[in-house]
Amino acid sequence: MYAEANGLHPLLAPVVETLGYELLGVERLPGKAGNLLRLYIDSEQGITLDDCERVSHQVSGVLDVEDFIRGPYTLEVSSPGLDRPLFTKEHFERFSGSTVKLELSRPIDGRRRITGLLAGMKGDNIVVHDRGQEHSIPFDEIVNGRLVPEFRGHGR
């Protein structure tokens, strides 16, 4: 899933953890002006703009020294937000009971996009309930997985 952003997660996780944060995941997105490298960080206290800047400064230094990315790139450090991305099997287990939106690498049960209630993991498969149907999706087939924000309006 997410192809581990070409090996960047193992390189950058220790740097982020040394600063007191968890590196949730790394996305590497190609663009016309170079790659966009997006890191998602979290902590028990939440994430502020100062936290993102601190991590960005340290990670930039490591990327420059390691010369891991060829060509121009933009580094973006972000909190997970309300539509939190799910990168690992542990993330899918942790957020069991939440609504998720999945994008798949190939159709499963005739669909490449599935939104439903996350029922956790069964072996290496993610189980999602949608419209009365249970989908068992191999973890390796997930291109993108995110929580769906649940908004609770005010009752009248």
Please provide residue 51's backbone torsions phi and psi, each rounded to the nearest 5 degrees: -60, -45
Per residue, the 3-state secondary structure of 80-147, as one string, reads CCCCCECCCHHHHHHCCCCEEEEEEEEEECCEEEEEEEEEEEECCEEEEEECCEEEEEEHHHEEEEEE
**CA 62 vs CA 16, 17, 117, 123, 128: distances in Å:** 11, 14, 39, 36, 38
Full-model pTM = 0.81
For 4-78, which CATH superfamily applies? RimP-like superfamily, N-terminal (3.30.300.70)
Domain locations in the chain? Answer: 4-78, 89-147
- The CATH topology of domain 89-147 is SH3 type barrels. (2.30.30)
Indicate left, alpha or beta for 2 from its phi (over 0: left) and psi (-120 to 50: alpha).
left
Q: Which amino acid, residue 101?
A: K
Q: What number is the average pLDDT over the span 20-44?
A: 91
> What is the pLDDT of the chain when averaged over all its residues?
89
In this predicted structure, the answer to whether residue 2 has a pLDDT above a threshold of 50 is: no
pLDDT of residue 71: 80
What's the angle, vertex CA 147, arms to CA 99 and CA 51, rounded to 5? 150
Where residue 18 falls among pLDDT bands split at 50, 70, 90?
Answer: very high
pLDDT tens per residue, range 59-71 = 998 988 877 777 8
